[in-house]
Amino acid sequence: MTNSGLPAAVLLDMDGTSIDSEPLWIESEVKLAESFGREFDPAQGANFVGTSLLSTAEWFANWIPTDTDPKILERRLLQYVVDHFEGDRILYRPGFFELLDLCDRLGIPVGIVTSSHRDFLDKMLAAVGPERFAVSLAGNEVENQKPDPEPYRTAAQILGVAIEDCVVVEDSNSGVASAVASGAHAVGIPCMTQVKPQPGLTVLESLHQLDEAKLRELVA
C-alpha cells in the first residue's frame, strides 16, 4: 500500500476487460476457417480467451489442417479485427470510462496490458485517447506472455512502482494467473468465461464495483 492508501497504479487487461472485442475475435476465427472451407463453431472461441494470438493460430493450423505458417494465420486474424474495430463495433465494458475518470481524479496512473498485438492496442488507444494511459504494453512486446507474470511486472517497472502496490483487472483465467503470479492485487471480472476463485484474487461482477472504497480496500 502507498502512503495515500491508494493503489500505485491500476493495470487493465484490454480484450474482455476494457473493451468488448471478443465477438470480433470470434468473427475473425469463423472467417479464417471459412477461407479454408471449414466451419468453426463460434462457441469454441471461448477456449482462446486470454491466450496468445499465435497459440490460437497454431491451433487453427492443426485443426484445418494446413501447411500455412501459423504466423501468417496469426496476421490474418489480427488484421481482420484491426480492420473492423471501428464505428459501432467499438464496444466498451460497463464501468470502463467511469474507472478511468475515477483514477484520473484520484491521481492513480492507469495502464493497459494486453496479449493482443501493438497494432490492435494502438487502435484502441486512439479510440479512447492515449493520454488517458500512463503505460501500454502489447503481447508482442514481452518475451513471455500471460499467464506468465512478466507483462504486469514489466508495466509496473516502466511506471517505476512496485507491482505489489498495484491493482490488476482481468477477465480470463490466463490473465488472472498472470496477475496473481505477479504479486499484484488481482481482480477478476468475468466476461465470456467464468473466473475460477483462488487465493489472492477478488472476483467482482463489473468495473462499476471498483469505486474509491474498493480500491482502498484492495491494497489495505
Mind listing the pLDDT tens digit for each residue in 53-94? 999 999 999 999 999 999 999 999 999 999 999 988 999 999
Q: Where are the domains of the chain?
A: 9-20+93-219, 22-84
71 compared with 22, residue with greater pLDDT: 71
Please tell me the CATH code under which domain 9-20+93-219 is placed. Answer: 3.40.50.1000
**Whether residue 131 has pLDDT greater than 80:** yes
Q: Which three cell numbers stand for residue 97?
A: 470510462
pLDDT-derived band of residue 49, with 50, 70 and 90 as boundaries? confident
Query: Using CA of residue 130, residue 9, residue 193, residue 141, what is the dihedral sign?
Result: positive
pTM value > 0.95: no
**Whether residue 1 has pLDDT greater than 70:** no
CB 63 within 8 A of CB 53: no
**Whether residue 2 has pLDDT greater than 80:** no
**Whether residue 17 has pLDDT greater than 90:** yes
**How do beta strands 185-188 and 9-12 pair?**
unpaired
